[in-house]
Structure 1
Amino acid sequence: MKLAALLPLLLLAACARPLPQGVTELTYATPYSPNHPFSKADQAWMRFVEKRSGGHIRIRPIWSGALLSSDMSMEELRHGVADVGLITPIYVRGGTHLIRIQTGFYSGADSIASQVALYRCIAAASPEIGKELHGLKLLAVQGGSLAGIVTTDRRVRRLEDLRGLRLRAPTELLTVLESLGVDAVNMPMGDVYSAMAKGVIDGVIAPGDTFRSLHFAEVSRHYNTLAIPRGAYPARAMGLARWNSLTPQEQAILNESQGVWEAALETEIHAALEKGMDEARKQGVTIDGMSRAEQARFDALYLRDSEQNARSLSRFGIDGLSPFRAARASVRARDQIECKGGSA
């Protein structure tokens, strides 16, 4: 192993301290600072675990990417670089094809709770999800606020108004937007502010929390609340080897903590959205909705594209259609989820 790869482990060992007899310490690593909304949810989880265990389990947080990397966190957890960590399988370059694609199956799941429920339906319908999470014990699933359309100068009131705009969008939305006449581009979210300020792009597909968290209210004038679906995904995990080293009592507490962690994430994401929309109104950003007919048209385009993406997984030897169909069957009515399809 190269020296650079060993440094985090050496630093961790150097920081280790003797523990009282009978106390288990778990390291938790995240790329975010302690003040980020995700980290506030993480701290709520830590407090629960420590209190529920009567101090028997201690969580030692390592913030701001000091231990785990963003794109290799799953592999690092498998190898014990940290005990527990934030994972982003939707950004991993290989080995999580279905987890990435399934985030496009969520039309109709408008709340975070329904997104998390639908993820579980999808995972139950496909053993491939478990294969892509091999070597990990899942501790929390995360959803998110629905994205809308942030624009600098052009006010968007219908889908036709998107034609000719150059918008930053996530990869899964590029072809949908292109079918609406958008010049859709992908770039790191950290570059979007300056790109809008300089006129390089006309806007971005993003949730309302970004008006504050990324200061988009300073460089945009309009926002349309078109409900652009948001998928849930595995977001917190533990290396399976470390999990297997715990006692049954410790495992039971961590299993119980999953609901606490997911509820805390939902609370913090909602709070961030409210703060972001308050900032948009404070800065005079106009906020428009989309008609039901236009929303239905967008949903149809989105689902068509999602099914095509599901079919495309066959080139990796993955059945994407079964979980796609299970997802669609599980959405009984908008935001109402009831698992259908069983295990594939």
Structure 2
Amino acid sequence: MRFAAFLPLLLLAACARPAPPGVTILTYASPYSPNHPFSKADQAWMAFVEQKSGGRLRIRPSWSGALLSSDMSMEELRHGVADVGLITPIYARGGTHLLRIQTGFYSGADSIEAQLALYRCIAAANPEIGHELEGLKVLAVQGGSLAGVVTTGRPVRSLTDLRGLRLRAPTELLTVLESLGADPVNMPMADVYSAMAKGVIDGVIAPGDTFRSLHFAEVAGYYNTLAIPRGAYPARAMGMARWNSLTPEQRAILTQSQGVWEAALSREIVAAFDKGMEEARKSGVAISGVPAAEQRRFDALYLRDAAANARALDRFGIDGMAAFRSARASVRGKNYIKCAPSQADATGARKPASETL
């Protein structure tokens, strides 16, 4: 996309009220409303930054997609449309091939803490991750609750029941769902509610929090708790040019804030899952599982397809299998925790080692 396309947004940002003397204001942009669980974590981060800086570094939020788009946010941040923003490399239109595919390497990393640590292992072992994030300073990595199968008019009680269903799914699940006879599509989560309500799709691969946070309990009738692994990815970032314009003291505060932001995201994700499942039960969503043999079959298909997707990156000149092998070796040996030793900051939050990207 040409820079001219960003000009109206840049002019909008320039019209914002000026900062008081001695105060630096950073704009923060998110596609979510201020009441979304992700946004509540964002607000905890904002409060920490302001408190830690003594009010000299403040965050001015822009919610509900007013400033950044879902699929171009990384490029928009590089061009300074906002200072800090929520990014989704898995939806980016190009240039994030390994970031997309590596989210399918997480089978066995079932907690958010394990997901974040495994991401850091993958990033440390595979320089391509850094290349795909060029021009950005990562401020937080995000994992999530394991997903299940949300459907509108037809229950899923076995893998066979997936046949013929048109499901929104993340990139790393497209081929495994196709092999099971489903018709998977990829779209931003913000578009899923209307797509289900209109019958454009039959359901979505999503965790239980979405029954409340995205109001899926209003349009879904069924939820299967098939445990679908969840990958981590860089989810909050700052344009590198803006990062370099800050003082060393300001950069130190933002570096320290990473652990606070990631801990707040983890808390909100766990709380949101519990609230979402409660909402599903209250709304009459029928909840079921799959037999253990079916879960094992799915896990095997998941890893088979993850390896195939990794090999397919050869066409982009990316050694995806090296990334896949490093991830699986870390999971098998439970070595991923060593990639991100933690320390407690002054707030008591668990803080990962310094981000190198």
Q: TM-score, normalised by structure 2?
A: 0.87
Offset from partner CA, 1:135-176 (integer Å, 9 cap, x none): 111100011221101233443333233334443333332221
Partners in 2 of 1:68 and 1:193 — Cα distance? 20
Aligned to 2:345: none
With over 3 angstroms needed to count, the CA separation of the structure-2 counterparts of 1:220 and 1:12, relative to structure 1, is: closer
Aligned to 1:285: 285
Partners in 2 of 1:4 and 1:334 — Cα distance? 46
Conserved? CA contact 1:110–1:335, under 8 Å: no
Aligned to 1:65: 65
With over 3 angstroms needed to count, the CA separation of the structure-2 counterparts of 1:186 and 1:241, relative to structure 1, is: closer
Conserved? CA contact 1:30–1:64, under 8 Å: yes
With over 3 angstroms needed to count, the CA separation of the structure-2 counterparts of 1:160 and 1:265, relative to structure 1, is: same
The one-letter amino acid paired with 1:117 is A
Conserved? CA contact 2:91–2:188, under 8 Å: no
Offset from partner CA, 1:11-48 (integer Å, 9 cap, x none): 22222324223x22212122222122111111100100
Offset at 1:97? 0.8
Aligned to 2:351: none
The one-letter amino acid paired with 1:19 is P
Offset at 1:198? 5.9
Aligned to 1:102: 102
Conserved? CA contact 1:77–1:238, under 8 Å: yes
Aligned to 1:317: 317
Flag structure 2 segments of 5+ consecutive residues without an equivalent.
Answer: 341-357
Aligned to 1:92: 92
**Secondary structure in 2 aligned to 1:331?**
helix
Aligned to 2:228: 228
Aligned to 2:25: 25
Aligned to 1:9: 10
Conserved? CA contact 1:135–1:239, under 8 Å: yes
Partners in 2 of 1:57 and 1:194 — Cα distance? 38
Partners in 1 of 2:66 and 2:167 — Cα distance? 33
Conserved? CA contact 1:109–1:335, under 8 Å: no
Partners in 2 of 1:231 and 1:312 — Cα distance? 19
With over 3 angstroms needed to count, the CA separation of the structure-2 counterparts of 1:24 and 1:185, relative to structure 1, is: closer
Offset at 1:334? 8.3
Conserved? CA contact 2:121–2:336, under 8 Å: no
Superposed, 1:114-193 pairs within 5 Å as 114-186=114-186, 189=189, 192-193=192-193
**Secondary structure in 2 aligned to 1:54?**
coil
With over 3 angstroms needed to count, the CA separation of the structure-2 counterparts of 1:56 and 1:66, relative to structure 1, is: same
My pick for the range that moved more, 28-37 or 297-306, is 28-37
Partners in 1 of 2:221 and 2:335 — Cα distance? 30
**Secondary structure in 1 aligned to 2:69?**
coil
Aligned to 2:266: 266
Partners in 1 of 2:202 and 2:85 — Cα distance? 36
**Secondary structure in 2 aligned to 1:205?**
strand
Conserved? CA contact 1:332–1:338, under 8 Å: no
Aligned to 1:80: 80
Conserved? CA contact 1:331–1:337, under 8 Å: no
With over 3 angstroms needed to count, the CA separation of the structure-2 counterparts of 1:25 and 1:199, relative to structure 1, is: closer
Offset at 1:320? 0.7
My pick for the range that moved more, 50-59 or 71-80, is 71-80
Q: TM-score, normalised by structure 1?
A: 0.90
